[in-house]
Amino acid sequence: MKQLITLITLLLSSLSTYADCNLLQNPKSNYYNPKPLSDDIELPMPCDLKMVFRKIIVPGQNFWGDEKRIIKIGDSSGDMFEIPLKTSINGSFYDSKQWANYLGKYEVTKAQFIAVMGIEIFKAEVTAVSKNKIDKFNRSINNLAEPVSEVSWPIFQEFIHKYNLWLFENHPSALPKHFEAKGSRYNQIPGFLRLPTELEWEYAARGGVNNGKLVAEFDNRLPFNANKINRYAWYLKNAKHNLKRIGLKKPNQQGLHDIFGNVQELTANLFLPEHWLGKPGGLVARGGDSGTEAEQFRSSSRKEVEIYNWDNDSKKMKIRRSYATGIRLAIGSNIIVNRDSYANLQQEHQQYINKIRAKLPVSTTLANTPAAAGAASSLQQVTDTISNLEQKNKQLITKLKKYQNIAASRQQIQDSNQKLINRLQEVTNELKTINTQISQAEQKLDLGLTEGAKSKVQDAWVYGVLMGQEIIRIIVLNKSLVKLDELAKMATRHQAKVFKTRDKIVEREKYLKELFVAYVEKIEKISGYDKRYVKIAINSIKQRKQTIRSRKVLPLLERHIHAYNLQINFDKWLQEFKLAF
């Protein structure tokens, strides 16, 4: 009886998979590789589909680190979560010549998701929050070559887990093998699928290396001319929040399609305010989506995506599903496989510590300014020197009195006096040296205060720009609400959009208030600086190339800094921003 039940279960499962695969039309390559290249890496999937990867080369041959791998990420022109810093990129696989990472050539499509998880789970996810589930489902399967979205975090993880198990069972040799430079017995252990780290994603998005060197555009805001974004990305102007099938836009230098736009892509990291510093939050999404404005795209842009979020209607926390969020896979490998691999790494580690690590940045932020620290060090040296001289002077005075009391000969006194005169001349020269050190320390301190003021004023200015952006969005939403209210009076089917727009306005107003609080806090910190440092900081921003919106912020910022120093009430500042924009 048990055998019969098992047989029936397997038969039903097989029929279900067969039915799901029948949804896919030929050529199936449209669902996974519409723009094939000769050096693509393809992994098999159920339903005769494939998952395609690109090999992203990482310079240097050392496991622990290499000077060639030092890169800059972040963007000083970005928001507060994109602080520029230097770090080191590493690879997951080694082929006896070089290290590499493997990143998905495309975002995971609906067809690929269904091939692994089945149509029922897909249907349950994409219709979870829809009232008309049938209509929603029919629209979702209309084009299975679009990136999959509206999937919760646990189900995305289950997709990766199930696909891994399927590969391990059916095609283990298709996966890249665990790194091992010397080719030991465990170098045949396969890698596994996962999401890319933030660092892997940004390195690949910026263009990586070409012929052993970072591509020329690596440090730019985008790896292509911003005026040509229509060739590379689906964004608000050309997609209007709609998903598009993969591979229609040009790839970046590494052959990656839709790395910007279409859907924002989850990474393996939790969201931290400064990459590796601060309070952990939700998940990190990179790359922007089909609703992102063109000027908002940056290789460094980072967005927080909640795993769970608060539902105002039910007054409960619910699992988050986002229409704008999908995934791009990576292939990873373990570091420690057995005792042998641990011992090999341990031997290499000491050489790395002695020769390489000191030259590498360990998450060093480019925003740090050592001037103030250098000034403090110089002042301490001056204090120590003065203390030593004071002690020496006491000793000289004691000796002078001793000579005056015990010297029997005038010549002895003259000789002693001459020695004291010579020594006092030496003290005078040392005091001149001290004055020079004090002058240098003051210059360093002045530089440190100048840099500190620039940093604080820039932070306040960035918050002001963000507030301006939010105010414009709220104005647009309010105009839309007026039109929707008029439509709702004529047809009740528009009522849902009215409620949704109102919720968005409330959400944006809340975020605007949070930005305003942060803005006031930054101005409070600026008030501790002398006016001349603040003036230098403001002039440095004026010299930058600015947008029409950002130029509106600076006069407000100057006025608010002045008002705060005069202890004038700043409750009306937010209203001034709204009037300006």
DSSP per residue, 84-100? -EEEE---SEE-SS-EE
Single out the residue in 388, 418, 445 at which a domain terminates: 445
CA distance 316 to 189: 45
Q: Let me know whether 265 and 402 are in one domain.
A: no
Q: CA separation (Å) from 419 to 404, 426, 430, 571?
A: 13, 11, 17, 71
Please state the domain count of the chain: 3
In the three-class reduction of DSSP (H, G, I as helix; E, B as strand; rest coil), residue 73 is classed as strand
Tell whether 496 is covered by a domain.
yes
Q: Of the given ranges (101-110, 167-176, 412-421, 547-556), which has the lowest mean pLDDT?
A: 412-421
Tokens linked to 389:
């001289």
Single out the residue in 365, 392, 418 at which a domain terminates: 365
Q: Provide the residue range defining the domain that includes 277.
A: 38-365
Q: Let me know whether 452 and 408 are in one domain.
A: no
Mean pLDDT computed over 209-223: 91
Tell whether 1 is covered by a domain.
no
Q: Let me know whether 351 and 375 are in one domain.
A: no
Kindly indicate the confidence band of residue 387, based on its pLDDT and cuts at 50, 70 and 90. Answer: low
Q: Let me know whether 409 and 458 are in one domain.
A: no
In the three-class reduction of DSSP (H, G, I as helix; E, B as strand; rest coil), residue 317 is classed as strand
- Neighbouring C-beta atoms of residue 541, cutoff 10 Å: 18
Predicted pLDDT of residue 15: 39
Predicted pLDDT of residue 47: 94
- The yes-or-no verdict on residue 194 having pLDDT over 90 is yes
Cis status, amide bond into 555, omega within 30 of 0: no
Tell whether 24 is covered by a domain.
no
Q: Let me know whether 426 and 493 are in one domain.
A: no
Q: Let me know whether 60 and 208 are in one domain.
A: yes
Mean pLDDT computed over 360-365: 46
CA distance 103 to 107: 10
Tell whether 23 is covered by a domain.
no
- The yes-or-no verdict on residue 292 having pLDDT over 90 is yes
Q: What secondary structure, in 3-state letters, does 179-207 show?
A: CCCCCCCCCCCECEEECCCHHHHHHHHHC
Tell whether 203 is covered by a domain.
yes
Tokens linked to 12:
């039903």
pLDDT above 90 coverage of the chain, percent: 38
Predicted pLDDT of residue 369: 41
Residue 440 near residue 378, CB atoms below 8 Å: yes
Q: Let me know whether 141 and 127 are in one domain.
A: yes
Q: Let me know whether 455 and 441 are in one domain.
A: no
Cβ neighbours of residue 428 closer than 8 Å, sequence gap 6 or more: none
Q: Residue 445: name the closest of 383, 378, 511 by CA.
A: 378
Q: Let me know whether 289 and 159 are in one domain.
A: yes
The values of phi and psi at residue 99, to 5°, are -95, 155
CA angle 280, 191, 182 (to 5 degrees): 115
Single out the residue in 445, 478, 493 at which a domain terminates: 445
Predicted pLDDT of residue 469: 87
Q: Let me know whether 553 and 490 are in one domain.
A: yes
- Neighbouring C-beta atoms of residue 254, cutoff 10 Å: 22
Tell whether 29 is covered by a domain.
no
Q: Residue 471: name the closest of 514, 517, 508 by CA.
A: 508
CA distance 261 to 288: 5
Q: Let me know whether 131 and 272 are in one domain.
A: yes
Kindly indicate the confidence band of residue 78, based on its pLDDT and cuts at 50, 70 and 90. Answer: confident
